[in-house]
Structures are given as structure tokens and as C-alpha cells.
Amino acid sequence: FSGEKNHVCDICGKKYFTRYKLNGHIKILHLKERKFVCRFCDKSLSSKHALRTHERQHTNESPYKCEICAEGFRQNVSLRWHRKSKHNCTEEKTAECKICGKKFVNMFAVKSHMRMHDP
């Protein structure tokens, strides 16, 4: 990966970092391949994951919950940014469940997890 957009669309001249992204652009924009279409706004997306993430804008679904303040987010990357900026949490998982050994970023998360062991 050179950090330069060396993959150029022959049709419109748009540039991409990877051939994969260029191919997706060509399929959706120029070949009108509409494999993953939003059921709310008819937008075409390049993958099932991208479609699922996009549709959350319409449904307000926020499956990624902050274990500290319970705020919800559409994407995991947004949750990670929130935890770092609002709660000064790092991604280092040092708190451990005494039952199964799974590690978490803090004891609050461990306590929430512990409910799974004792329903």
C-alpha cells in the first residue's frame, strides 16, 4: 500500500487507493450492479455490511452500547471513539472475569458480563 490513489476509473477518472474499491465503484456506478440496495432510500452499497450500517441511519438502531454510560452507536468505531474521548478509556483489556477469564476494559464491563453467568 503506497498511500497514493493509483487505481483510476477509465470511465470517469475517479481515483482509489485499492483495485477492490475501484471495482466496487465501477460495478455500482457504471454497471448499475445493485446487489445491496437500501430498502428505505434505494441507495446501492458495495457489501452486506455496508448496507446494514447504512440502514441504521433510517432505523436509528444503535447496537453498540457504551458499558459506562449506556449511550448507543451505529458503528463500533464510533463507540471506541466515544469511550476514548468521553471516558478516557483505552482499548487495553485488563479487567478479567473470574469465572471464564474473558477480559474487559474496566470492572463495570466485567460486572455487566457476570450477569450472563448467573441468569
Percent of the chain at pLDDT above 70? Answer: 97
pLDDT tens figures, 98-110: 999 998 877 888 8
Kindly tell me the burial class for residue 83, based on how many C-beta atoms sit within 10 Å of its own C-beta (0-12, 13-18, 19 or more): buried
For residue 66, give the C-alpha cell.
457504551
Mean pLDDT for 32-53 is 85
pLDDT tens figures, 63-107: 999 988 999 999 988 998 998 899 888 777 888 999 999 988 778
Tell me which DSSP letter residue 58 carries. H
62 contact partners, CB below 8 Å, separation of at least 6? 56, 72, 73, 74
pLDDT at 119: 61
**Domain boundaries, given as residue ranges, for the chain:** 64-114
Pick the CATH number of 64-114 from 3.30.70, 3.30.1490, 3.30.160, 3.40.50: 3.30.160
pLDDT at 1: 53
Q: Provide the 10 A C-beta neighbour count for residue 10.
A: 8
Residue 109, helix vs strand vs coil = helix
pLDDT at 47: 81
> What's this model's pTM, rounded to 2 decimal places?
0.49
For residue 51, give the C-alpha cell.
448496507
